[in-house]
Amino acid sequence: MSTSRVVATVFAAMTFLAAAPVHAFDPAILESVVSVLPDWPEDSGPARADPQRLEVPEGTGVAILAGGYIATNAHVLGRAAEVRVRLADGQHLPAAIVGRDTATDIALLRIEWDLPVPAFGPAPPLGDRVCVVGNAFGLGLSVTCGVVSARHRAGTGFNPIEDFIQTDASVNPGASGGALVDSENRLVGVVSAIFTKGSDADIGINFAASMALVMRIAEDLRDHGRVIRGRAGFGFADLTDEQRDAGLVGVRVVRVRPDGAAARAGLAEGDLIVSIAGRPIRQRMEVPAALHLQRPDVPIEITVIRDGETRNLTLSMDP
């Protein structure tokens, strides 16, 4: 190809990209996000970034249900018995702690102020643009943007149950509980954790709980004050290196409770679980997230391989 044709092709591609629609960030989302101000007992609470500072460390929250319900992180609240929130306009309001779930690090607050609840969206595709709205370092709400680096992350070590969207959008202390929004300004996650490797600096590996997990927890906290989880009735383990080297992918069933839900579904010891509710399973830490996204007594399709044959089983967990 001649040089002139190469230049023309590159120019045409650039023209196409320039003409493609780009969704601008909508600052209206800030009206749905608050700064969370926990009142910790003197001997508790997360370590302050600077022990010389006298200000109470802050976090972030985002409206997720009508009636003033706000999602944040359980670790933001710590042992706080009282909490205030600061609205985008600077106004302070008291907040009631509806409930906390340490297994997912999700907590629910309620204020006597009906904040606008943003539209929700599914986990965006890899590489899609996302933005974080959070109260970094307690400086007030700010916006940082990046891309989706991974979806359905589990086993990061932060929580027993994880369903994370990973992003390289800059996240710093104080932004926990903030909003992760997609290119259409839909809420797709609640910021949960920063992978720092022992440093407070952001290294571009940050995690937000998916809205599927957030709403599963928040609705139970609102309706029952606690999370009602099902009992699947089976134990599982990662494959050995030798099994993976042989081409196997999934999680092995190592025990089945005789009178439990798994036994009724036909699950057997030795089965290789390859998907739960349509979600591929590659390591054991993905199983709790896939199961606990579902409610007890709701049928869940589990795909297993037994004796080289693929089988689809239906599991309804016990309450």
Catalytic residue among 75, 152, 210, 220: 75
Catalytic residue among 105, 202, 220, 271: 105
**Rounded to the nearest 5 degrees, what angle is found at the Cα of 43, between the Cα atoms of 37 and 44?**
45
How distant, in Å, are the alpha carbons of 79, 243, 288 from that of 152? 29, 24, 12
Question: What is the distance between the alpha carbons of residues 237 and 246, in angstroms, rounded to a whole number?
Answer: 17
75 is known as an active-site residue: yes
Catalytic residue among 176, 192, 210, 275: 176
Residues 29 and 179: beta-carbon distance below 8 Å: yes
Kindly report the number of other CB atoms within 10 A of residue 127's CB atom: 8
**Strands annotated E in the chain:** 33-39, 59-65, 69-73, 82-86, 92-101, 106-110, 129-134, 142-153, 164-167, 179-182, 187-194, 206-210, 234-238, 251-256, 272-276, 279-280, 300-306, 309-315
Find, among 233, 301, 309, 240, the residue nearest to 271 by Cα.
309
Token pair listed for 107:
């907590």
Token pair listed for 173:
């202390």
Would you name the residues annotated as active-site residues? 75, 105, 176
